[in-house]
Chains A and B, each alone.
Chain A
């Protein structure tokens, strides 16, 4: 390789300031690109909020890493708040770095226009876009859940979407989709971390040849040993890791505990390692609070609280099962790969990306989505040490950062 790829990685956020799965995956990939022998150079530019609005300024976070004070002010059409900077400072950055490829991880908070600006600067720059949710398909924050309910939605159409957003006409939704599709035409290669998300986008309008599945890479550490059991103890420690919001189903999990008899509750311990509850709607917070207090008193619930990425491994050491009770589809929740990497089987809702990644009765358990009764039953049976052991044995090691970067370089072709 004489020249090598020059890759600018773009993300809607920087993990220094925000710990969502998408930005962490983008940053890890950027660092892995830098180590890849076929990559001559790599940079990272993340949208950031420095508390002074969407100034459009670009600044250096550390060598090779930039922040862009950009935002979105029209979520219907995903239009960038600072239009001026698209063809000025952002264009300057692209012209100065001369990337051969731009690997972007989102359009939320960035807008869609930058795709067009890149191609105007140099049509030869290959644009790779990793999709992390369904925002292009669904105006409801990309959740594919009907507005004002928890009903799952499996298809968009101007008339269906208008029913969720009555202040927007069906024609407005037609225009929205057309606008997204025309901007997505500028992308040379889409990457989806799950078959499920890929399928949804293919159904929506991306040609199957233009979108490949590459799972997010993980730290290449060895799996943790199983939690040490005392004589006669069961595999009864269940851990929830991640954000707490109305789509994540933590309330379903708590209701499952409420539905247990007093003696059953003595047989399980659920740990909540959750963040961002304080930002949620008031009625949701009250609901969680009301469920939580009596359960904590009875000892079956431990509210551990948020964690930093470097604390995750230690926290997973003390649990047997990782649980994901989400009531939305999910794409490829990072905690699934993290659990597998740490040698922990999972219990997950039986839909979408969760049902794809966790094999029922093999390396985990699939539970009927949103059913607190079924969660109650499955929590109680999962404590059987032999059953846990058989699932644990079949856990596969996730792909590493290095393997993930290698797969992406393969998609980019020769430099």
Chain B
């Protein structure tokens, strides 16, 4: 088994059919991958066996369902999926990410095959309107809050404005669609479950791998559609969300501060003095 594609489900189960309608077009996927849905929402458990039966009859595309008796969040659900996975590679994928063309898993794995030092690779993700949703993550300082946040570079812009034209080594990539070797995933200690329902699990894993001397790759030649945050809408109000982000960001920079700060060049004149000042502030 070349890869296990692991998809946590929270809030909506109807995305499963929309993903199957794409996966079923991909012969390589069908031959070389297993598909695992991790049910991470008690509300979805009851109806899922009937849905799974109905979808299997229509699509004849096998998949496994894992339910771990609790809502574990992004990291916990993905780790549970990894427990059950049999592939040499793991592809973590959100339920609102949809392939555009067949062959996308094969292309991501090819990067890992050809670049032994690359530990994680993610494709370009596009909004339904065709603009950039994910073209790698960089870290940006939010001075008023004293935190570093994850910045989705060039989000909303036309894809031809993406400076990356081929595989590029980057600071971090999204967990909405990320491929790793199983051994590297275990070596990094899996998804960190210490973050609240937020964003930072993916960059945490990337930084963890980088702290061990490994590279993170962004592959703009493979594109999928991402209906970003369709399920997050269900979670709390804006001020609550912001507090969660602050909590996560502080945890993130306490763990990986040295790797976060130098990766950004926010000043118009990237003088060495400014970088030092940033570092100092970071350390304080």
The residues of A with any CB-CB pair to B shorter than 8 Å are: 83, 86-87, 113, 116-117, 120, 158-159, 169-171, 174-175, 178-179, 182-183, 185
Contacts and interface: CB of A to CB of B under 8 A. Distances in A.
Nearest to B17: A179
A116 B128 contact: no
Contact of B21 (A86, A174, A182): A182
B58 A117 contact: yes
A403 to B, nearest CB: 37
B227 A171 contact: yes
B68 to A, nearest CB: 27
B22 A182 contact: yes
Interface of B: 17-18, 21-22, 25, 54, 57-60, 96, 98, 128-129, 225, 227, 230
Contacts of B98: 178
Given A182-B21, A182-B25, A175 B227 contact: yes
Contacts of A120: 60
A86 B230 contact: no
Contact of A171 (B17, B22, B128): B128
B128 A158 contact: yes
Contacts of A178: 18, 21-22, 98, 225
Contacts of A179: 17-18, 21
A170 B128 contact: yes
B58 to A, nearest CB: 6
B58 A113 contact: yes
A87 B227 contact: no
Contacts of B128: 158, 170-171, 174
A127 B225 CA distance: 29
Chain A interface mostly: helix
Nearest to B20: A182
Given A83-B54, A170-B128, A174-B225, 8 more contacts: A83-B58, A86-B58, A87-B57, A113-B58, A171-B96, A174-B128, A175-B18, A182-B21
Contacts of B17: 179
Closest 3 CB pairs of A and B: A174-B128, A171-B227, A87-B57
25 contacts: A86-B57, A86-B58, A87-B57, A113-B58, A116-B58, A116-B59, A117-B58, A120-B60, A158-B128, A159-B129, A169-B230, A171-B96, A171-B128, A174-B128, A174-B227, A178-B18, A178-B21, A178-B225, A179-B17, A179-B18, A179-B21, A182-B21, A182-B25, A183-B21, A185-B25
A87 B60 CA distance: 11
A117 B56 CA distance: 11
Contacts of B22: 178, 182
A258 to B, nearest CB: 46
B49 to A, nearest CB: 14
A347 B120 CA distance: 66
A276 to B, nearest CB: 34
Nearest to B50: A83
A388 B260 CA distance: 82
Contacts of A158: 128-129
A248 B189 CA distance: 66
A205 B227 CA distance: 20
B29 to A, nearest CB: 15
A116 B59 CA distance: 8
Nearest to B226: A171
A178 B17 CA distance: 11
B61 to A, nearest CB: 11
A159 B129 CA distance: 9
A178 B97 CA distance: 13
A171 B230 contact: yes
Contact of B58 (A87, A159, A170, A171): A87
A85 to B, nearest CB: 11
Nearest to A83: B54
Nearest to B22: A182
A180 to B, nearest CB: 10
A169 B98 CA distance: 17
B225 to A, nearest CB: 8
Nearest to B59: A116
Contacts of A113: 58
A174 B227 CA distance: 9
Contacts of B59: 116
Contacts of B230: 169, 171
Nearest to B96: A171
B47 to A, nearest CB: 13
Nearest to A175: B18
